[in-house]
Each structure stands twice: as C-alpha cells, then as structure tokens.
A and B are shown apart, each in its own frame.
Chain A
C-alpha cells in the first residue's frame, strides 16, 4: 500500500503543445555568441579578484544582459537563446575545437549546428582572451605524461569533463520552491555573519558566500527582466486570452524564484528558472530534475484541494516544461557529438519509488509525468521510472504503454538493487531510498552529491590488445610489459597479463580524471550550483572544492561482453582444446582475420615497419614506404591468411557466448567485469570521495569501437563494441529472457555508478493488454534476479531502414540509444546501423 491514493485518469493534450513543438523543430539549431561575449567582458573587468567572485560576477553580467525572448504561446518562460533549440558557448572550459570546426559544424553527420558569420567573428574575438586560461589547458598541465599518452592512444577518454563543465547533478529544487533565492541569500548572509575575519578559512569562506549572494541576486534580476518583458508584450497584445496569459507570466516572474512558490503554476516557473540557469552557469550536461513528481506534489495537492487548479491545466503546464527541456541545447566537439549523439542533454527526470521511510509514493503527478512524455514524444526529459515490489501495477502498465509508442522512454530502475548499492557506498538507508538518476543511469542522492558520474569512458578491449602487443601500440611502448603472449603457458598467466594491463591503465585514467577535477576547482568553481547542494553553504566552499556531502568519481567501462567472449574464446581454443596456437591467434588479430585492413591500420603498420628499418640503419624514403605499404596490404590479404582467418572465425563461432543463459560463460563474464570494477574502487578523488565504476557506454561504443582493432571474440577491427552490459550485437540468439538472465548474472551492486541493459522489441511483442502485461512481467522478472536497469527500443526494422532513406519523413522519430533517447535521423550513419543490427527480440 502506498502513501497516497492517486488519480491515474488520462488527460488530453492541448493544441498549444503541438504548436510549441512544431516551432521548436522548425529549423537547424543555432550557435549564439552572447554568453561568451558577456562572460569575457566580465572576466576582463575582474582580473585581480578571487576566482569564485569572478565566476559570480560573470554569471551576474550575463544574466543582466543576455537577450531574452518569450516564444509564442509559452506558459513557462526562460530561453537561453533567441533561436529555438539554440546553444551558447562556454570558452572558459575549452574553445579551440569549436573554432577549428566553425566551417564543418553545420554539415557534420552527428548533431549539426548552424553558426552565422557574425557569431564566428564574435567568438574568434573572444577566444583570443581565453588562450591559456581554460580548465582543459590547466587539466593537461596537471596530468602525468603517461596518462596523456594513454588518452592519445584511445585507451580511455575523459573528454567530457575535459572539454566541458561537469553538470551531472540534481540540486535542491524543493528548497528554491520553498524559500526562493531570497531565502538562500538570507541563509548565506547568516553564515557570513558567523564568520570572523580572524578565521583560518575566512578568505575562502567569506568570498564563497559572497559569490552565492551575487549569483542568487542575479537569478532574481533575470526573472525580473522576464516579468517586464511579459508586461510589455501584454500591453501590445490584442488577443485577450494571450494578454491574460502574459500578465500571469509577468506576475509569476515577479514572485519566483525570488520567493517561495505560492502555488503549482509558480512552482513550475520557479523549477524552470533553476533548471535553465544552472545550464547558463556551466556547460555541464545531465543537470537532472530528479524526483519532479515528489517535490512538485505538495503544490499540486494544495491547489487541487483548494479548487485553484484543474488537473487539465496542471498537465498543460507540465507538458510545457517537457517541451522547454528540449529548448536547451549544447554543441559538443565532433568526436564527442558522436559519443553523445542526438542533441541530448540527459536531463533525467524520474517518477515513482519510495520515500525515506520505504513507503511507495507514486502519486497523481507520477502518472502525469508519463502522460507528458506521451504528449510531447520528445527525447527530453530522459524519463525514468523507479520499480520495486511495492510499485503499483497500474503505474508499470502505463509506463509500458509509453514504451510501446517506440519513443524509447521510460528507462526502468530497480530500487531493490540500487538502494543497497548506494548504502554500500556510504549513504544512509533513508537517503538511498530517495535516490534519483543522473544523466543516463547513474544513481545518487539529490542535493547532497557531487558524483562526477560521467568521468570517462574506458575501453576494456584496448588492454587486451596491449596484452598481445606486450604494451606497445603503433610502435610505441605505451603501457607496461606483460611478456611475450606467445610464450604464455596457461590461461591464468594470460588472464593475469590482462588484469595487469587493466590495473595500470585504470591508474592512468584516475590520474587524468583527478587532474581535470583539480582544474575545475581552481578555474571554474560554480557558486550558483553550489548554493543548492548541501553542505556547500555551511562548509563555505563550492562543490568543485569538495563542498558536497557525498563525493564520487564514476568512469564507465564498456566492452564487457566483448572481453568476456574474447577471453573465453582464448581460454577454450588456445589453452583447453589447443585448436589454435597463440601465434596464429595473434596473426589473425593483426590481419583482421584476413578480412582486409582499413587505411588507418595499414598506414600504422607501414610506419612501424619503416621505423624498425630506420632503427636498424636502413634508408627509407617515399619509394620504400610505398613498397612496404603494398607488401603489408598483400600479406594481410593473401589467400593463406584469409583462409586461416576464416577457419579461426568458424571455431570462434562455435564457442559459447555471453548472453545465452549459459551459467559457466555468464560466471566468467561476471569475473571479467570485476577486472574493471574492483581495481577502480581503491582510488580516491581530490574532493575526498571514492571512485565507483559504471558499466555503460552512452553511444561511445560506436566511435570508440572504430578505434579498436580486431578482438579475439571474432569482432572485426573498427566495428562497434558491445553496448552497455548487453550481449554483443547478434550474439544473443536465445531470446530476451535468456539475454536478461545472462546479464543479471553480472554483479550490478558493485557497478554503483550504473549499468545499462538495452533490449529491442518489435511493436507486436507489446500489442494488446496481454502484451503490456507480459512486458511488465519481463521487467519484474529481470529485476527479481537483481538486474539494475532496463530500457527498450520498440520500433520495427523496416521503420528504421525507411528513416535512414527518408530522414525528412522521420524528423521526430525518437529511439533509445544507450541510456537516453535521441532523434534517430540526427544520429550518424554508423550508429543508425548499429541500432538496426541489434538482434530483434520477440517476433
């Protein structure tokens, strides 16, 4: 029995919502320069002040001057750009990539953005100031050379926080709703009054609190500008209905977020300013609204009970927020855009679940969140639902209806795994029960955590390549030497070599992440964000400097399925059945199983040989290089090599694979996952927190797979690696229950930064009420076996193929890609192919 009796009745969509969406998607998103220009003006004027004050003053200068707009028919206002779905830039984190991509950013395959000549000119001007002043430059300076080398060789990539702000947080929305920024200013002033000029930490503490006050006042000023603008537009407006709406907007913005919200509409507007302004302060993505259905509920309940609000209007307001979440945007560098494809900001919003006492708190708004996603059918918010034994069945059936639409939402999360997992990381039981999800799949306690949840991608396939090359890559010794692979006598020796390569490279990843962490603390502390995370105000320091109660760093490992299948194949074929020698295996990997080498590998091998010759004193000119290239090409494609490769692939095909419900293989995969998750736990970050592993790749399995040679599981060079903890594409042949059983045999508790299990269904598998019931049962049964997360693509292969051919027809087609929903037609061709090729489950 839950805490609330709820009303789950469906509420229809209004015409306004469709018009807002159409307006939003009319044209290509655009890059605007206003923020960067204002930021730089402010920085130039504050050269000798403490960094935290400079950040606050820059935030204030931006909010006082950035152009504002109220879009037609909006009920909730606050736009970061004049152009719909536009983005600002954040040169304090990095800028060189953007300038280098000015001419290609509008035409690239993944997430293109229009940029005007004027904006380019503005940004070129501004960028001159930033040379040597960014977080990314400082981070590089802090990194160990061997860590930089490992990044250059694609062992892992910490690019997300290297190039951008951190984001990945859920702040105390409920606090702003309750007391407004005036309340927070009062709190900071009270803390300031307690400081004594003689305190050892006075300098930092007092300036931090001062920065909080400046930032909160700036937010109030910004809302005031919207109040004035709405008033002016109301004066000019001839349509009496719209005039009344604009006057109401003006009234809302003059009250919130300065003060506490007096009702549901004000609460919605106040929520939105928090959500939007966090993303003006920093470029970090995954600023996640979290448990919207919980902190908004008191305002909804009171207004409904007192007859001041209809359910229909409440739904329309929520729908408006859902649309607005898609108005925010971010331009990433070309490589990152491939890894995070789909213009996604990963603003994760979660409904359902338990309260701190362990009672189910599904309420009217939980259902209305599902309804809102059903109404807008857009990728944002990244909508999630919490599932536990006390979850109302009706709630899951309604969520399954949303899944059935093919929008790729919601993602389902298992309280029964996540709560104990968080407790094992030091959260209290009460706090763990209140968890929400950040970004893709990362659980944490809102308003108390700086989780660095998306700290890096670690490619688990690359250390295995290093075992075969004895630590060398492209002719350069980039890792430790683990011995000549051909001389290894037992599988244990081979596996130990893999673990040693893993351990060494994980330590380099930690070095890189910690360097970036320090750079953020020194160059981009965020006073506005920090005032909404405990205990920053009390401790007098920003989250970047360790002000949060809980501090983690969570880099993601991916390729678990490839490594499980690879190591298992080597164990069986080389050491147990002795069907193939290690030398032959190594040659097959080098020659991509005789399937031909791509140009990158060919030139790498040529360079390697040429340098070997030069080292031995030979003269190697252009002519000789051409000869080497030709002979490498011929050798790698000779009929003999091809036949050997083919034979080995056939043998590998016969070896059992992860994902088919074979206990021995699954147990092996569990152990392989530990080669990443266990060493990582032993490291600490500069904020005083621990490292915790995630096992998911966002969509990086495609671009990072393109940097990975052939692997012993029969995966060809440069093709995608496996997605999340899911089996390798096409290798799970016993259907969805078998795949789910296999995946559930991994240890999901230790991967407390989240695991990601993707399944794809043909719509017919969910047809009718029975289809929904069976679908809910599938989720329940996977969760009974202690899986942590599950998400689904429900769309036919034909639809996807047609969308590839006729992207215009499918401008709004959303599919779930590894942890978030994206617009299918905006994804790169190779990622589209990957989604199409995933095994179709069901029928």
Chain B
C-alpha cells in the first residue's frame, strides 16, 4: 500500500463535477503545467510553485502538498453519487503528467476501490510515462488544440509533435477510452478548416469515436488580476452558439465522429 503515501501538489478539489467524464465526479486539480496557453482559465495551475492569489480582496495560498491517502479520503465522500451515476475520479490540472507518480497512484487508488477514472491531459510527456498510467485509466480526455506546430507554439509556448504522436500511441494501446477535446479559441483555432483538421486527425486515431468542442469562456479573467498578471485575451468574445453549431457540423461532416459542444 506504499502508493497511498505518494506525495503530490494540488490546487483544488471540486466535487459534483458533471461536465468532465461520465456521471457525477470529483475533480482533483494537480498543480503545474508544461504549456502557457493564453486563454487558460486556471492560470494558477501553471506554476508548480505554491503561489498567493488575491481572491475577492483576500490573499489566498494556491497549492497544497498532500498524499494520495488524503486526497482519496475526500474522493470517497461522494461514493454514493458515483454508484448511482457511474461517475468517479477525474484528474485535471495543470498537466497531471507533470506529476506522473502522484497521478498514477491516485488513479490506481481509485481503481482499487472500484471507481471509474478519467484524466484531462494534453499528453505532453514521454510515452513511457503515459504507458505507466494507462492500466488505471478508464477514459482519457485528451486536449488537441491545433494541428499546426507553429501556431501551437505561438499560442501555448510549445509545439505539438509529441502530443500528436502520443495520441496515436494511446489510441493504439487500446487500454483506455480516448476522447478528443478541443478548446475553441477565437483567433487561434476557430476557423472551420482548423477544426476540421483536428477532427480529421481525431478520426484517424484507432478506436476514437468522440470529440468535444469546448467554447472559449472568460471566467478565469479575474484570476489573472489576482495573480498580478495581464490577461492577453481581454478583447476576445466567446463564440456564439450558432457559430459553435456550425463548427460542430463541419467537424461531423469531415470526420463522422460523435461530436458534442461542451464536456
């Protein structure tokens, strides 16, 4: 039971999450990320270091060192809801793969207890790291933001080759239900041809049937102020419902995937 003592750093646990995987879920947010997406709605997730953020006029410490055991104690509390809804544990971040031992141990702990598991991740880590986690992961909610490496680097700070390659390997492993998620960001990837390119890529992955289009929102804006950072997307408006439906239709047309708006 050593894995129960595995240490890690989180910045939030959110119960009753119903838009990230099947059923009623508890999301554990791991701190630290490899990318620096301009639109990120959880900017406090990016740095691994513990930070202070101003929340509603008060200083709040962001980040907590904890153990699998302590996290699972909270995750266990909603077991009756998982049982009735088919829900369970979802890891999010940040990029959970930045803390691979901790992420793996959390997922293992959940599986050992008979819970459904999911992880939101960009797959931005050596494949060996991912491979170690897959046996404990029922659903991989994988972000693919763009197929063009240059544009990807410009907006997120890194190119996308490793992630696309990992997507293929994860799909080929057949060990998890791979779902492709696309944050739809105006001015970055919201042209129909850009979404279509991602859809085509997703459809080419072994066994992938589902794609989620997640419309850009500005709910994280205040957090940038709280961290003393400038929000670079101030003037960007969220896409309209009609526009999202148009993109959805385009994606379905070129890929034949089951494509939904929202998680």
Which A residues have a C-beta under 8 Å from some C-beta of B? 661, 734-738, 741, 765, 770-771, 773-774, 776-778, 780-782, 784-785, 841-843
Q: Which of B57-100 contact A (CB under 8 A)?
A: 77-78, 80-81, 83-87
Give Cα A344–Cα B114 distance, bound, in whole angstroms.
Answer: 47
Give Cα A771–Cα B262 distance, bound, in whole angstroms.
Answer: 12
Given that A661-B77, A738-B77, A784-B84 are contacting pairs, would A777 and B23 also be in contact in the complex, using a CB cutoff of 8 Å?
A: yes
In whole Å, how far is A417's beta carbon from the nearest beta carbon of chain B? 15
Q: Does B24 contact A (CB under 8 A)?
A: yes
A737, B84: Cβ atoms closer than 8 Å: no
Which of A765, A773, A777 has the largest number of chain B CB atoms within 10 A? A777
B23, A738: Cβ atoms closer than 8 Å: no
In whole Å, how far is A21's beta carbon from the nearest beta carbon of chain B? 30
In whole Å, how far is B141's beta carbon from the nearest beta carbon of chain A? 14
A784, B80: Cβ atoms closer than 8 Å: yes
Which of A765, A778, A841 has the largest number of chain B CB atoms within 10 A? A778
In whole Å, how far is B142's beta carbon from the nearest beta carbon of chain A? 20
In whole Å, how far is B257's beta carbon from the nearest beta carbon of chain A? 18
Taking a contact as CB atoms closer than 8 A, the residue among B15, B19, B83, B86 that contacts A737 in the complex is B15
A771, B18: Cβ atoms closer than 8 Å: yes
B18, A841: Cβ atoms closer than 8 Å: no
**Per-residue contact bits, chain B 1-43, to A (CB 8 Å; 1 contact, 0 not):** 0000000000000111011000110000000000000000000
Using CB atoms, name the residue of chain B closest to A741: B77
Taking a contact as CB atoms closer than 8 A, the residue among B14, B15, B19, B84 that contacts A777 in the complex is B84
Given A735-B14, A737-B81, A785-B80, output 12 extra A-B contacts at Cβ < 8 Å: A737-B15, A737-B24, A741-B78, A741-B80, A765-B18, A774-B18, A774-B23, A777-B81, A778-B16, A781-B83, A782-B80, A842-B16
Contacts of B84 in A (CB 8 A): 776-778, 780-781, 784
Give Cα A160–Cα B86 distance, bound, in whole angstroms.
Answer: 45
Using CB atoms, name the residue of chain A closest to B22: A770
B85, A737: Cβ atoms closer than 8 Å: no
Contacts of B83 in A (CB 8 A): 781, 784
B18, A781: Cβ atoms closer than 8 Å: no
A773, B15: Cβ atoms closer than 8 Å: no
In whole Å, how far is A395's beta carbon from the nearest beta carbon of chain B? 15
Give Cα A770–Cα B86 distance, bound, in whole angstroms.
Answer: 11
A737, B77: Cβ atoms closer than 8 Å: yes
Give Cα A778–Cα B82 distance, bound, in whole angstroms.
Answer: 9
Give Cα A782–Cα B80 distance, bound, in whole angstroms.
Answer: 8
Count CB-based A-B contacts (< 8 Å): 58
B77, A781: Cβ atoms closer than 8 Å: no
Interchain Cβ contacts under 8 Å between A and B, 9 examples: A735-B16, A741-B77, A773-B23, A774-B87, A777-B81, A778-B85, A780-B84, A781-B80, A781-B84
Using CB atoms, name the residue of chain B closest to A661: B77
- Tell me the interface secondary structure of chain A in the complex: helix
B23, A736: Cβ atoms closer than 8 Å: no
Contacts of B24 in A (CB 8 A): 737, 774, 777-778, 781
A736, B80: Cβ atoms closer than 8 Å: no
Using CB atoms, name the residue of chain A closest to B13: A734
B15, A735: Cβ atoms closer than 8 Å: yes
A737, B18: Cβ atoms closer than 8 Å: no
Give Cα A737–Cα B78 distance, bound, in whole angstroms.
Answer: 7
Give Cα A373–Cα B8 distance, bound, in whole angstroms.
Answer: 51
Given that A777-B85, A781-B80, A784-B84 are contacting pairs, would A738 and B18 also be in contact in the complex, using a CB cutoff of 8 Å?
A: no
B85, A738: Cβ atoms closer than 8 Å: no
Contacts of B18 in A (CB 8 A): 765, 770-771, 774, 842
Give Cα A782–Cα B81 distance, bound, in whole angstroms.
Answer: 8
In whole Å, how far is B93's beta carbon from the nearest beta carbon of chain A? 19
A736, B16: Cβ atoms closer than 8 Å: yes
Give Cα A843–Cα B78 distance, bound, in whole angstroms.
Answer: 18
B81, A778: Cβ atoms closer than 8 Å: yes
Contacts of A737 in B (CB 8 A): 15-16, 24, 77-78, 81
In whole Å, how far is B21's beta carbon from the nearest beta carbon of chain A? 10
Using CB atoms, name the residue of chain A closest to B83: A781
In whole Å, how far is B140's beta carbon from the nearest beta carbon of chain A? 19
Using CB atoms, name the residue of chain A closest to B80: A781
Using CB atoms, name the residue of chain A closest to B25: A774
Using CB atoms, name the residue of chain A closest to B18: A774
In whole Å, how far is A739's beta carbon from the nearest beta carbon of chain B? 10
Contacts of A770 in B (CB 8 A): 18
Give Cα A709–Cα B123 distance, bound, in whole angstroms.
Answer: 57
Given that A773-B85, A774-B85 are contacting pairs, would A738 and B80 also be in contact in the complex, using a CB cutoff of 8 Å?
A: no
- 8 nearest A-B pairs in the assembled complex, by CB-CB distance: A777-B85, A777-B84, A781-B80, A735-B16, A780-B84, A781-B81, A781-B84, A735-B15
Using CB atoms, name the residue of chain B closest to A738: B15
Give Cα A780–Cα B80 distance, bound, in whole angstroms.
Answer: 9
Using CB atoms, name the residue of chain B closest to A765: B18
Contacts of B81 in A (CB 8 A): 737, 777-778, 781
Using CB atoms, name the residue of chain B closest to A785: B80
Give Cα A322–Cα B15 distance, bound, in whole angstroms.
Answer: 39
Give Cα A843–Cα B18 distance, bound, in whole angstroms.
Answer: 10
Contacts of A782 in B (CB 8 A): 80
Give Cα A780–Cα B24 distance, bound, in whole angstroms.
Answer: 12
**Per-residue contact bits, chain B 209-234, to A (CB 8 Å; 1 contact, 0 not):** 00000000000000000000000000
Give Cα A250–Cα B83 distance, bound, in whole angstroms.
Answer: 55
Give Cα A317–Cα B58 distance, bound, in whole angstroms.
Answer: 59
Give Cα A661–Cα B24 distance, bound, in whole angstroms.
Answer: 17
Contacts of A773 in B (CB 8 A): 23, 85
In whole Å, how far is A392's beta carbon from the nearest beta carbon of chain B? 15
Contacts of B15 in A (CB 8 A): 734-735, 737-738
In whole Å, how far is B145's beta carbon from the nearest beta carbon of chain A? 23
A841, B16: Cβ atoms closer than 8 Å: yes
Using CB atoms, name the residue of chain B closest to A734: B15
In whole Å, how far is B22's beta carbon from the nearest beta carbon of chain A? 8
In whole Å, how far is A732's beta carbon from the nearest beta carbon of chain B? 11
In whole Å, how far is B144's beta carbon from the nearest beta carbon of chain A? 22
Contacts of A841 in B (CB 8 A): 16
Contacts of A741 in B (CB 8 A): 77-78, 80
Contacts of B85 in A (CB 8 A): 773-774, 777-778, 781
Give Cα A843–Cα B86 distance, bound, in whole angstroms.
Answer: 20
Give Cα A839–Cα B14 distance, bound, in whole angstroms.
Answer: 16
Give Cα A737–Cα B81 distance, bound, in whole angstroms.
Answer: 8
In whole Å, how far is A309's beta carbon from the nearest beta carbon of chain B? 38
Contacts of A738 in B (CB 8 A): 15-16, 77
Using CB atoms, name the residue of chain B closest to A780: B84
In whole Å, how far is A397's beta carbon from the nearest beta carbon of chain B? 13
In whole Å, how far is B72's beta carbon from the nearest beta carbon of chain A? 15
Which of B15, B16, B19, B23 has the largest number of chain A CB atoms within 10 A? B16
Give Cα A776–Cα B78 distance, bound, in whole angstroms.
Answer: 15
Give Cα A841–Cα B18 distance, bound, in whole angstroms.
Answer: 12
Give Cα A738–Cα B23 distance, bound, in whole angstroms.
Answer: 16
Contacts of A765 in B (CB 8 A): 18
In whole Å, how far is B42's beta carbon from the nearest beta carbon of chain A? 15
Give Cα A842–Cα B14 distance, bound, in whole angstroms.
Answer: 11
In whole Å, how far is B156's beta carbon from the nearest beta carbon of chain A? 26
Contacts of A774 in B (CB 8 A): 18, 23-24, 85, 87
In whole Å, how far is B111's beta carbon from the nearest beta carbon of chain A? 21
Give Cα A843–Cα B16 distance, bound, in whole angstroms.
Answer: 10
Using CB atoms, name the residue of chain B closest to A744: B80
Using CB atoms, name the residue of chain B closest to A776: B84
Contacts of B87 in A (CB 8 A): 774, 777
Contacts of A734 in B (CB 8 A): 15
In whole Å, how far is A142's beta carbon from the nearest beta carbon of chain B? 49
Contacts of A777 in B (CB 8 A): 23-24, 81, 84-87
In whole Å, how far is B259's beta carbon from the nearest beta carbon of chain A? 14
Give Cα A772–Cα B83 distance, bound, in whole angstroms.
Answer: 16
In whole Å, how far is A780's beta carbon from the nearest beta carbon of chain B? 4
Give Cα A777–Cα B15 distance, bound, in whole angstroms.
Answer: 14
In whole Å, how far is A225's beta carbon from the nearest beta carbon of chain B? 53
Give Cα A741–Cα B85 distance, bound, in whole angstroms.
Answer: 16
Give Cα A770–Cα B14 distance, bound, in whole angstroms.
Answer: 19
Give Cα A785–Cα B79 distance, bound, in whole angstroms.
Answer: 11
Contacts of A780 in B (CB 8 A): 84
